[in-house]
């Protein structure tokens, strides 16, 4: 998918999320809106932690199977990691800098 298509998709999701939060705020007041925002943040944290654990697991498998010597496998692994970081699903570690 092109960058423009990705941005459009993100904008639609952002608009949908904002509309949902506004709806909840209108229906249940400020406490409902705060609940939804906190829940959303917790879900993002959980997703990020799960993805990080999966990447650690895949690194262990790659090491155990001695696939770290295979350039194609390492390029694919690095590409997946880069895409996850770009999408905000995986945070960059301090040691990566």
Would you kindly state where each structural domain of the chain is located, as residue ranges? 3-91
Q: Examine the pLDDT at 65 and tell me if it is beyond 90.
A: yes
Q: Are 62 and 56 in contact (CB under 8 A)?
A: no
Q: How open is the CA angle 41-43-49, to the nearest 5 degrees?
A: 105
Q: How many Cα atoms sit within 13 Å of 11 on the Cβ side?
A: 6
% of the chain with per-residue pLDDT over 90: 49
Tell me how far CA of residue 31 lies from CA of 41, 57, 88, in angstroms: 15, 39, 27
pLDDT digits (tens, 9 = 90+) for 13-60: 788 888 999 999 999 999 999 999 999 888 888 888 899 999 999 999
**Alpha carbon distance 78, 14 (integer Å):** 28
Distance, CA of 97 to CA of 86 (rounded, Å): 15
């Amino acid at each position: 998918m092109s960058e423009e298509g990705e941005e459009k998709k993100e904008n639609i999701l952002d608009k949908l999320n904002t509309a949902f939060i506004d709806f909840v705020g209108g229906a249940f007041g400020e406490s409902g809106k705060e609940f939804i925002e906190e829940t959303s943040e917790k879900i993002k944290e959980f997703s990020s932690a799960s993805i990080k654990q999966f990447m650690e697991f895949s690194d262990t498998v790659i090491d155990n199977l001695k696939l770290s010597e295979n350039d194609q496998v390492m390029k694919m692994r690095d590409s997946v990691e880069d895409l996850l970081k770009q999408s905000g699903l995986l945070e960059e570690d301090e040691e990566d800098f």
